[in-house]
Amino acid sequence: MTANRYPNLRLLDHPLILHKLTIARDARTKSPEFRRLIGEIAGLMAFETFRHLPLEPRRIETPVAVTEGARISQPVTLVPILRAGIGMTEGLLALLPEARVGHLGIYRDEETATPVRYYSKMPVDIADGPVLLVDPMLATGGSACAAAEELRQLGCTNLRMICLVAAPQGVERMLEIHPDIPIHTAALDERLDENNYIVPGLGDAGDRIFGTR
């Protein structure tokens, strides 16, 4: 049903992901444990998110014999949306330490709910390989769409997004504006509340990651 309604959505419901996400959602979970869980969930999600990375053959010599293997053929760039996206980046880098990390600062104006960009630092050759947009939450989709548009302006064509929880409104907005960008998420939540927070969601992921709530 989800795949039919949201063809851009990839729901990763592995038991370990769901187990850790449940603990992370719990309001009693403190910042150190929440931060650890976010990284661990991102690492688990990375296996599927990185499934279609381009490969090239590589001939190597093991201690026993010569054999044919494969290596990733293009540079991979992670682009966390500051600041909460940083919390997922360590888990992704643990799986793919060769990845570069760009940074994109976007915050949501609380009165208008529109995205405001305040910082951008990317590899000069970011368009030469796959780019993974990283943010724990996809709420209205405003920040994600703004981030995707900036990356497109830099020439990026191989884009995908990873988030822990998503609201239907955000998925629909991305589908409307950037239908070719797959969204990998651990949970499609119920809705947005009157303040555009995801329900049941995670709360403010940035505050919970960095202990500023």
The residue from 36, 100, 128, 204 that is catalytic is 204
Q: Give whole-number Cα distances, 40 to 36, 45, 68, 108, 188, in Å.
A: 6, 9, 32, 26, 19
Q: What DSSP designation does 211 have?
A: T
Question: Is 157 part of the annotated catalytic residue set?
Answer: no
* Position 153, amino acid: Q
Q: At what angle do helices 168-177 and 142-153 cross, to 10 degrees?
A: 30
Q: State the number of CA atoms in the 13 A half-sphere of 141 facing the CB.
A: 18
Question: Is 22 part of the annotated catalytic residue set?
Answer: no
The first and second tokens of residue 185, run together, are: 């998420």
Q: At what angle do helices 31-49 and 15-25 cross, to 10 degrees?
A: 150
Question: Is 13 part of the annotated catalytic residue set?
Answer: no
The residue from 36, 108, 117, 152 that is catalytic is 108
Question: Is 180 part of the annotated catalytic residue set?
Answer: no
The first and second tokens of residue 198, run together, are: 């995801």
Catalytic positions: 108, 112, 204, 207
